Amino acid sequence: MAVGIFDSGLGGLTVLDAVQERLPDVPFAYLADSANAPYGVRTTDDIYALTCAATQQLFDEGCDLVVLACNTASAAALRRMQENWVPPGKRVLGVFVPLIEALTERQWGDNSPPREVAIRNVALFATPATVASRAFQRELAFRAIGVDVETQACGGVVDAIEEGDMILAEALVRSHVDALRRKMPTPEAAVLGCTHYPLLQDVFQAALGNEVKLFSQAGLVAESLADYLTRHPDMLGTSDGCLLTTGDARRVSDRATQFMRREMVFSTA
């Protein structure tokens, strides 16, 4: 049995870490589509095709449930996959909804009309494709009214992280926070809307200032998955846990080990 976790690259490891801690008895099959990362600069059709192919690989591994631990795939492909592609008996979940539930302080399945919430000004940091999709604003509008969202497409950050160039990644984060502040000088909250960004959470927080509440997804997704599996214990699948990449397994293992500060050995998908 295993639950599939998918990301274009290393960012989903921030989610993997949290779900493993929250659900220590559940094995996870992680797939990084490193050969095609980053997704955030691709077209919607491209992201859809790549995400379907990667998810199919995890189904073929024996997973019945796959979590897209990738905002770009969740924003650009998930709805279309759920409507047109996911085979019977399989499920695909994304990372947006748990985040928005936390931001709006609403419980899972609360389908009451949108209402005013405590937070008024939110900064969203995400990939260019996630920002362009407006999926965050759309999901938010189902639940909350009166929230002003300012977005910042953080070009280059994912590439720098995947290359292991953290000095460049940090410099880019600072300049993206500056750019956001020129549009929204005093956000109350900021959303790290890319699973790579928690690897730079301290840099975001320092650049934004401690008065800005940071929302990042890993812990929220872990809680939401635990809740889902309690309600659907039959979705654990038949696979054993594994770490797979479509890229160079050795290189990806080295980077993952560096980021997670524990040994991570990937095999070629």
DSSP letter, residue 9: S
Alpha helices in 85-143 (DSSP H): 96-104, 128-133, 135-143
Given the residues 63, 70, 154, 242, the one annotated as active site: 70
Stretch 18-57 residues interacting with ligand DGL (CB under 6 A): 37-40
CA 156, CA 168: separation in Å to the nearest integer? 9
User: Considering only residues 151, 152, 195, 246, which one is a binding residue for ligand DGL as defined by CB under 6 A?
Assistant: 195
Site string for ligand DGL, 145-164 (x = CB under 6 A): -------------x------
Stretch 211-230 residues interacting with ligand DGL (CB under 6 A): none
CB of 73 to ligand DGL, least distance (A): 7
Cα–Cα distances in Å, from 106 out to 74, 95, 111, 115, 219?
A: 20, 16, 9, 10, 16
Site string for ligand DGL, 84-123 (x = CB under 6 A): ----------------------------------------
- 63 as an active site residue: the answer is no
Residue 201 identity:
Q
245 binds ligand DGL (CB under 6 A): no
- 194 as an active site residue: the answer is yes
CB of 249 to ligand DGL, least distance (A): 18
Tokens standing for residue 19? 């779900």
Number of residues that bind ligand DGL (CB under 6 A): 17
CA 120, CA 125: separation in Å to the nearest integer? 16
Stretch 2-21 residues interacting with ligand DGL (CB under 6 A): 7-9, 11
8 A C-beta contact, residue 150 and residue 184: yes
Say how far residue 250 (Cα) sits from the centre of its chain. 24
Phi first, then psi: what are they for 86, rounded to 5°? -60, 125
Residues that bind ligand DGL in the complex, under the rule CB under 6 A: 7-9, 11, 37-40, 70-72, 127, 130, 158, 194-196
Task: Point out the residues that are catalytic.
Answer: 70, 194
